[in-house]
Structure 1
Amino acid sequence: MKKYSKFGKAAIILILLFLWYSMIFSFSAQNGEISGSLSGSIALKTVQVFDKLTFGHRSEENIALLAKKLEFPIRKAAHFTEYAVLGCLWFFFFRIFLGKAGGKKQRICMLVSIGIVFLSAAGDEFHQTFISGRSGNFGDVLLDTAGGFTGIFLCGFFNRRARKS
């Protein structure tokens, strides 16, 4: 496998970060109607697939009702997941320059990454206050940050385990 320089690796991660931020902010730029429609269609498709996989014979009305109930948790899980990935990307970006050393350096890497994820989530929610049918919610900032924290923690954990082996 070809070895890349620190700056080559950093450039790749910066490109991935740019693409990931573009995705996050493009979702935020959708008005309330489009955003709700997207969440609703994902929830509906999820329930339909689950119904087929479990050989269920739910009526269309029951499927629609279940999809409506799942829309909110699916939306929140999507937020959590997209910020978990963002946290991982930031962790790996800083890890490039700190090397494979653990301990204090890894904790600093993790804390800086969590701080950036928090600021990103706050900026995302602030951005939504300017979009028709959307609003900023500090609870979403906390959920997004929790997702980022989870991603960063998992990356740090697996980074430490890989270093030990």
Structure 2
Amino acid sequence: MRKKICIALAIIWMGVIFYMSNQPASISSIHSGNTINIISKLPIIGNIMDYLTSINIGEFIVRKCAHMFSYCILAIFLFMSVYEDNIKKAIIIAFLGTFLYACSDEFHQLFIPGRSGEFRDVMIDSTGGIIGIVFTTFIVKYK
């Protein structure tokens, strides 16, 4: 039952990623700007974000953190959907699934106004996937 739920969650999460990637750059920038406004209201972190925004890298950081977070979650769902007793198999499948979906997502963005498909983003997405896999592996091994 757990595997079926995790497979369903992975598919739903892939849909969320697709939906977010399907938005034109102007809409995506609005979302990033709203996130920056929320973060800017937090103590200490808000001051850092205000500074980063003033030197024009605040939006870049927010976008790349969103990439990493999205693929971290996807990797966790993929890992949990295939894991039984073989951790290595789950790691390989979760990483390959995350990497291939990141590649397809960047290809998809080539057709969205104002967006671009970049190998750098595939690497950032894959790094998020690795973080999710390491986190899940640690939990599974040491629970």
What TM-score, normalized to structure 2?
0.89
The residue number in structure 1 matching 2:39 is: 46
Deviation at 1:81, TM superposition (A): 0.7
Structure 2: stretches of 5+ with no match in the other structure:
none
Residues 12-21 or 110-119, more deviating: 12-21
Runs of 4+ in structure 1 off by over 6 angstroms are: none
- Residue 81 (structure 2) aligned to one of 93, 103, 107: 93
Tell me how many residue pairs correspond in the alignment: 140
1:74 aligns with 62
The letter for the 2-side match of 1:28 is S
Alpha-carbon RMSD across the aligned residues, in angstroms, is 2.1
SS in 2 for 1:132: coil
What whole-Å deviation, never above 9, does each CA across 1:5-48 have from its counterpart, x for those lacking one? Answer: xxx2222112211211111000000001111111112112211x
Superposition TM-score, scaled by structure 1 size:
0.77
Asked whether the 8 Å contact 1:91–1:155 carries over to 2, the reply is yes
Counterpart residue identity of residue 70, structure 1:
G
CA distance in 1, matches of 2:95, 2:121: 15
* Percent of pairs with identical residues: 31
Match of 2:141 in 1: 160
**Is the contact made by 1:43 and 1:68 (CA closer than 8 Å) also made in structure 2?**
no
Larger gyration radius, structure 1 or structure 2: 1
Structure 1 position 157, deviation (Å): 1.3
Give the conservation status (yes or no) of the 8 Å contact 1:91–1:109: yes
State the partner residue of 1:145.
126
